Amino acid sequence: MTQAHRDTTRLPIPFLDQFDFHPRIADTTGTVLVTFTSPDCGVCRHLRRVLQEIRGLRPDWHLFEVDAQRDPALSNEFEVFHLPTIFLFEDGVFHCELQTEARPLSIIHATLAALQMPAEEAP
């Protein structure tokens, strides 16, 4: 007997705001990617589609999104200067900002490579 697998690739990526960001990240074990985006950013819309693909390839990873326009305090805290920006957390702790192409395999490879390196200090 096989257990039905829930398809999460069609569900929206959950948003975090300044009130739930830190508690949610701290309580999430494993690999977490947080993207800072804006509703009027075309590249951000593309990245959302890419992240949906990553969900299918890496269902064990947790993905969250922050609307930089709605939550400028978080953008300031993390020194976000361009959108979209992706931050990597592992077991609730900041690891680094990812610098990679907005393609599923590029993000996956960059994440796995970053996790082999020591964590950076949070901005």
CA dist 30 and 79 (Å) reads: 24
Q: Are 98 and 54 in contact (CB under 8 A)?
A: no
Q: Which sign does the torsion angle of CA 51, 86, 62, 45 carry? A: negative
Please compute the mean of the pLDDT values over residues 31-43 and round it to a whole number.
96
Stretch 91-118: mean pLDDT, rounded? 97
Structure tokens at 100: 């990679």
Mean pLDDT across 18-27: 97
Residue 7 has pLDDT above 60, yes or no: no
Q: What is the mean pLDDT of the chain?
A: 92
Distance, CA of 14 to CA of 99 (rounded, Å): 22
Mean pLDDT throughout 94-108? 97
* pLDDT tens per residue across span 45-85: 999 999 999 999 999 999 999 999 999 999 999 999 999 99
Alpha carbon distance 32, 60 (integer Å): 9
Q: Supply the pLDDT for residue 11.
A: 80
Please give the pLDDT value at position 4.
44
